[in-house]
Amino acid sequence: MDSKDYIASGILELYVAGSLSEKENQEVYEAMQKYPEVLAEVQSIENAIVKLTAFSKKDSAYSFDSIKNQLKVEQPKVIPISKPKTNWLQYSGWAASLLIGSILIFTLSKNNQLKQQVASEKEVLEAQIDSASTNLAAAEKLIEVFRDKDIISVPLAGQTVSPTSYAKVYWDKKTNSIYLDAKGLPEPPKGKVYQVWSLKLSPLTPTSLGTLDSFTADNNKIFTITNANESEAFGITLEPAGGSLSPTLEQLYTLGAVSS
Amino acid sequence: MSQEQLILQFQQKDVKAYEKLYNMYCDSISGVVNNIVKNDDVTQEITQDVFIKAWNKADTYSSKKGRFFTWLLNIARNAAIDYTRSKKFKQSKQNLNADFFVDILETSSNLDKSTNTIGLKEFVTKLGEKCKAVIELIYFKGFTQKEASEELDMPLGTIKTRNRTCIGELRTMLGE
């Protein structure tokens, strides 16, 4: 029997009424599980009967409250919604926050480190710029000196002790100062120092203009020296540290006469 | 929420779920009871008893044995019939008339409550006598097919098909 014939047989109407035997009830139940249309038919019949029977009462509706208090309610069992199991979500949350925290700390310290690095690099750069501009100023001053027509240029030639040495004196008579370019002199041996002399030729009278104590340290080997003498020549000798009262002529490195 | 879930919750003693089921079926149950005891006060009392009884034996219901509504219907009919067999009922019996559900329907104040009521009333009055009798016995009195066939002196198969035809007309009218 297919579901259509089953529905048409009228058994479902009796099923809702409760007029069937236990065995028949079981059959209908199985048919309802098997055929959705049988279940729908039963529900439809039931709805009609519910409405029909509802009309055979005279009173207005009885409120549920009238029986509510008489319903015995067992103490509701507390059923935990979820067993207290290992909450991996929570743990992974903590792990993630720890990870993020340590990354944050690492980033902050890295950032500080970089900031310091940048600051020190900046300092170095500033110092370089500073020295560059100082150098530039010095170079400009030198160019100015070399171009000044009032400045007397005196080349100092190498002498017997050091024929390859040379030097140059730029004498500014207005300011009573000389600019000595000593680039052509070798490094003085340890314990020795170059001493600059102003010379008068007849009679030969040397006057010390001072020692070049900073020769090794000075990069451009240009020294500014005060000279108020009526110099006729300039000479440079190698002297013991501290300088000498009179030049050691055996150690005369360069010499040059002022052309008149 | 599906009815299956409501019934499951009711069986777990969920008062809220039971209230929903109560509101679905209270009128029907009291209608069936009223049709048997034919007394408003007694109907209310028995209807309340039926729902309290159903609550207390909630665990005995099984969807495999039948519909939840049918289960309630059985409890209600038994309670009402028990009452008709009691001393109290017999003492007041002379005051009762022998109305069928159709007579109650025709005088029911409930008939003004729904848009379907006019159609229902019309349907009921148009129902053939045999149809009225079958519905009365099968649904209101809880007769088995065999009992109804004996009562109405009709073949078993005829009860079944006639009942289906009558309910079919009712459903058409109700739009079910």
Cβ pair B160:A11 closer than 8 A: yes
Please confirm whether the linkage preceding A203 is cis (ω < 30° from 0).
Answer: yes
Q: Percent of chain B at pLDDT above 90?
A: 29
- Which chain B residues are within 8 Å of A55, Cβ to Cβ? 31, 105, 108, 110-111, 117, 120
The two structure tokens encoding residue B121:
């009333």
Q: What is the DSSP letter of A251?
A: G
Instruction: Label residue B93 by pLDDT band (50, 70, 90).
Output: low
Cβ pair B140:A56 closer than 8 A: yes
Instruction: Label residue B171 by pLDDT band (50, 70, 90).
Output: confident
The reply to whether A77 touches chain B by the CB within 8 Å rule is no
Higher-pLDDT residue of A147 and A11 is A11
pLDDT digits (tens, 9 = 90+) for B44-54: 899 999 999 99
The two structure tokens encoding residue A38:
């049988």
The reply to whether B39 touches chain A by the CB within 8 Å rule is no
Question: Cβ neighbours of residue B43 under 8 Å, at least 6 residues apart?
Answer: A57, A58, A59, B30, B33, B34, B37
Q: Percent of chain B at pLDDT above 70?
A: 79
Looking at the partner chain, which of A29, A50, A66 has a beta carbon nearest the beta carbon of B69? A50
pLDDT of the residue at B115: 45
pLDDT of the residue at B164: 92
Q: What are residue A166's DSSP bridge partners?
A: A157
B101-140 burial string, b = 16+ CB within 10 Å, else e? bbbbbeebebbeeeebbeebbebbeebeeebbbbbbbbbb
* Chain A nearest C-alpha distance from B6 (Å): 16
pLDDT of the residue at A46: 93
Q: Is residue A109 predicted with pLDDT exceeding 90?
A: yes
Distance separating alpha carbons of residues B168 and B161, to the nearest angstrom: 10
pLDDT digits (tens, 9 = 90+) for A209-260: 999 988 888 888 888 899 888 889 999 999 998 889 889 888 999 999 988 6
Higher-pLDDT residue of A173 and A198 is A198
A4-12 mean pLDDT: 91
A114-138 mean pLDDT: 87
pLDDT of the residue at B94: 47
pLDDT of the residue at A157: 92
Q: Is residue B100 predicted with pLDDT exceeding 70?
A: no
Determine contact, residues A23/A52, Cβ cutoff 8 Å.
Answer: no
Q: Is residue A113 predicted with pLDDT exceeding 50?
A: yes
The reply to whether B127 touches chain A by the CB within 8 Å rule is no
pLDDT digits (tens, 9 = 90+) for A30-84: 999 999 999 999 999 999 999 888 877 666 677 888 888 888 776 555 666 665 5
* Chain A nearest C-alpha distance from B104 (Å): 6
pLDDT digits (tens, 9 = 90+) for B103-116: 666 555 444 444 45
Q: What is the 3-state secondary structure (H, E, C) of chain B?
A: CCHHHHHHHHHCCCHHHHHHHHHHHHHHHHHHHHHHHCCHHHHHHHHHHHHHHHHHCHHHCCCCCCCHHHHHHHHHHHHHHHHHCCHHHHHCHHHCCCCCHHHHHHHCHHHHCCCCHHHHHHHHHHCCHHHHHHHHHHHHHCCCHHHHHHHHCCCHHHHHHHHHHHHHHHHHHHCC
The helix/strand/coil state of A169 is: strand
The helix/strand/coil state of A254 is: strand
Optimal mutation site among B18, B140, B176, interface A, most CBs of chain A within 10 A: B176
The reply to whether A75 touches chain B by the CB within 8 Å rule is no
pLDDT of the residue at B2: 81
- Which chain B residues are within 8 Å of A19, Cβ to Cβ? 138, 142-145, 148
pLDDT digits (tens, 9 = 90+) for A233-245: 999 999 998 889 8
Distance separating alpha carbons of residues A2 and A186, to the nearest angstrom: 124
The helix/strand/coil state of A234 is: strand
Instruction: Label residue A86 by pLDDT band (50, 70, 90).
Output: low
CA B132 to chain centre: 14
The pLDDT mean for chain B works out to 82
- Which chain B residues are within 8 Å of A42, Cβ to Cβ? 67
Looking at the partner chain, which of B23, B101, B107 has a beta carbon nearest the beta carbon of A64? B23
Q: Burial-class residue B21 by CB neighbours within 10 Å (0-12, 13-18, 19+).
A: buried
Instruction: Label residue B77 by pLDDT band (50, 70, 90).
Output: very high
pLDDT of the residue at A82: 60
pLDDT of the residue at B112: 45
The pLDDT mean for chain A works out to 87
Looking at the partner chain, which of B52, B64, B104 has a beta carbon nearest the beta carbon of A56? B104
The two structure tokens encoding residue A103:
């990354």
Other Cβ atoms closer than 10 A to B84:
15
pLDDT of the residue at B99: 58
* Chain B nearest C-alpha distance from A87 (Å): 29
- Tokens 């929903």 found at: B20
pLDDT of the residue at A89: 81
Instruction: Label residue B133 by pLDDT band (50, 70, 90).
Output: confident
The helix/strand/coil state of A165 is: strand
The reply to whether A29 touches chain B by the CB within 8 Å rule is yes
